């Protein structure tokens, strides 16, 4: 029995350090994963504040995907850690069960010996002493037997209590393992959901890029047609107009309409996709129906609807400067009309497009208006 018990103890002593080392390594792995999750959460929070449009949402989704992947790793690492502790507990419980069985058999044999001695077994040992000389050895033997029996019983009770505790711990570890397995399945589902979301966003982003590129092409074509019109009008208006050149009043001219500046002069680049869109004038947001006025005296060289711009007026001024008023709701002038300063050229829609061209070269209207 002693040889069996020592063999089990030696086995547990050999297994325990290796299992503890594996458990420590898995614990470090889990801690590292949880640190990475914390960093990803912080980055995800900042990106959520910065997100604009599909590109920002896509970046947010990519971080979410990385976070869900790390959470899945966390669940897998925690499950492996739980498995390692579970395997260790199974070994410990198995060893304790062997010890308990050895102690039970030894205790059973001892009880059988005591049963054979009868109800007053220890007393009968003393009564069997015949001489005083045998009394002291008998007492010593009796004390040894009582101590051995007490030790045997204590070992049995201690091992049984320890086994009960370890079995309870084993049940709890099995419950935790089931929880982590459930978490692993849920995080697999979350990862798949974010992957589907990412695929959808990528498709939307690709379609949006195509739409923006097509829009840029349309705007470029629209601007090209307008430039061709202005080239034609400038080429036809070769006769100089009398009066002070418009250049002399640069920076002090009135605005053509009351409103807010909606878009400035100059080509602009779409920040998300790098698409370049031409813009040779300014756009003004205004109330529908308000009058649009000529900013300087001149001659109307064009007054008609123009493709992509709606009703449009082009005025030739002295000094070979041209002004263009496009996107009108209604025209109030005709070609070849001579305009006075501030005369109405038409009524506005919700948005007016306005250009100034010097020798048919687009210039920033804000440099001319006060």
Q: Are residues 133 and 253 in the same domain?
A: no
Concatenated DSSP letters of 306-326: ETTTEEEEEEEETTTEEEEEE
Long-range contacts for 165-170 (Cβ within 8 Å, ≥24 apart)? 166/89, 166/92, 166/93, 166/96, 167/93, 169/89, 170/86, 170/89, 170/90, 170/93
pLDDT of residue 278: 73
Q: How does pLDDT run across 313-325, given as a tens digit for each residue?
A: 999 999 999 999 9
- CA dist., res. 314 & res. 356, Å (int): 10
Residue 215 in domain: no
Average pLDDT, the chain: 78
Residue 316 in domain: yes
Q: Are residues 33 and 150 in the same domain?
A: yes
Full residue range of the structural domain in which residue 259 is found: 240-367
Concatenated DSSP letters of 219-256: HHHHHHHHHHHHHHHHHH--SPPPSS-GGGGTT-BPPS
Q: How confident is the model at residue 287 (pLDDT cuts 50, 70, 90)?
A: very high
pLDDT of residue 304: 94
More confident residue, 203 or 254: 254
Q: Are residues 144 and 16 in the same domain?
A: yes
Residue 216 in domain: no
- CA dist., res. 316 & res. 324, Å (int): 9
pLDDT of residue 271: 54
CATH number at residue 275: 2.70.70.10
CA distances from 288 to 123, 134, 291, 348, 350 (A): 121, 130, 9, 5, 5
Tally the domains of the chain: 2
- CA dist., res. 369 & res. 66, Å (int): 53
Checking if the pLDDT of 332 tops 70, the result is yes
Residue 23 in domain: yes
Q: How does pLDDT run across 245-282, given as a tens digit for each residue?
A: 999 999 999 999 999 999 999 887 655 555 566 788 99
More confident residue, 192 or 136: 192
Q: Are residues 197 and 300 in the same domain?
A: no
Contact 96, 168 (CB under 8 A): no
Q: What is the model's pTM? A: 0.48
Cα–Cα–Cα angle for 158, 162, 166, rounded to 5 degrees: 170
Q: Are residues 171 and 131 in the same domain?
A: yes
Residue 217 in domain: no
Q: Are residues 44 and 174 in the same domain?
A: yes
Residue 252 in domain: yes
Q: Are residues 263 and 309 in the same domain?
A: yes
- Hey, is 353 helix, strand or coil? strand
Q: How does pLDDT run across 146-188, given as a tens digit for each residue?
A: 777 778 788 888 888 888 887 888 778 778 778 777 777 777 7
More confident residue, 160 or 345: 345
Checking if the pLDDT of 348 tops 80, the result is yes
pLDDT of residue 329: 95
Residue 235 in domain: no
Residue 218 in domain: no
Question: Per residue in 60-76, is it b (16+ CB within 10 Å) or e — as a string?
Answer: bbbbbbbbbbbbbbbbb
Q: Of 167, 187, 209, which residue is a domain's last?
A: 209
HSE-up of 194 (CA within 13 Å, CB side)? 21
Q: Are residues 73 and 117 in the same domain?
A: yes
Q: How does pLDDT run across 65-83, given as a tens digit for each residue?
A: 777 777 777 777 877 877 7
More confident residue, 51 or 254: 254
Look-up of token digits 């040894």: 144
Q: How does pLDDT run across 83-129, given as a tens digit for each residue?
A: 787 788 888 888 888 888 888 788 777 777 666 655 555 555 555 55
- Hey, is 283 helix, strand or coil? strand
Q: Are residues 148 and 255 in the same domain?
A: no
Q: Are residues 297 and 254 in the same domain?
A: yes
Q: How many CB atoms lie within 10 A of CB 55?
A: 16
More confident residue, 145 or 98: 98
Q: Are residues 94 and 149 in the same domain?
A: yes
Which residues share a beta bridge with 348? Answer: 328
Q: Are residues 304 and 166 in the same domain?
A: no
- CA dist., res. 181 & res. 105, Å (int): 40
CATH number at residue 168: 1.10.287
pLDDT of residue 289: 94
pLDDT of residue 43: 59
């Amino acid at each position: 029995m002693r040889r069996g018990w020592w063999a089990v103890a030696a086995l547990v002593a050999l297994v325990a350090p290796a299992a503890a080392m594996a458990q420590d390594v898995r614990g470090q792995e889990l801690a590292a994963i949880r640190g990475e999750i914390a960093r990803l959460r912080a980055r995800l929070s900042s990106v959520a504040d910065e997100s604009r449009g599909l590109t920002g949402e896509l970046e947010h989704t990519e971080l979410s995907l990385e976070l869900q992947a790390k959470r899945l790793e966390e669940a897998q690492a925690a499950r492996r850690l739980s498995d390692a502790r579970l395997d260790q507990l199974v070994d410990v419980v198995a060893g304790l069960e062997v010890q308990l069985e050895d102690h039970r058999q030894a205790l059973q044999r001892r009880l059988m010996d005591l049963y054979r001695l009868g109800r007053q077994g220890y007393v009968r040992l003393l009564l069997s002493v015949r001489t005083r000389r045998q009394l002291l050895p008998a007492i010593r033997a009796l004390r040894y037997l009582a101590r051995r029996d007490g030790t045997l019983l204590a070992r049995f009770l201690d091992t049984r209590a320890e086994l009960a505790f370890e079995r309870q711990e084993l049940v709890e570890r099995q419950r935790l393992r089931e929880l982590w397995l459930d978490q692993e399945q849920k995080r697999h589902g979350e990862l798949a959901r974010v992957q589907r979301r990412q695929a959808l966003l990528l498709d939307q982003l690709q379609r949006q890029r195509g739409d923006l590129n097509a829009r840029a092409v349309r705007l470029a074509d629209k601007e090209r047609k307008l430039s061709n019109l202005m080239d034609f009008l400038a080429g036809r208006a070769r006769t100089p107009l009398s009066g002070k050149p418009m250049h002399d009043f640069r920076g002090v001219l009135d605005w053509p309409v009351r409103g807010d500046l909606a878009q400035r002069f100059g080509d602009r680049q779409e920040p998300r996709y790098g698409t370049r869109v031409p813009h040779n004038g300014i756009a003004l947001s205004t109330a529908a129906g308000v009058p649009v006025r000529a900013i300087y005296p001149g001659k109307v060289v064009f007054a008609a609807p123009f493709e992509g711009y709606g009703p449009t007026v082009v005025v030739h001024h002295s000094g070979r400067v041209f002004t263009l008023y496009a996107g009108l709701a209604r025209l109030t002038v005709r070609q070849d009309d001579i305009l006075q300063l501030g005369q109405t050229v038409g009524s506005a829609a919700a948005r007016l497009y306005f250009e100034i061209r010097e020798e048919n070269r687009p210039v920033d209207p804000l440099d001319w208006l006060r």
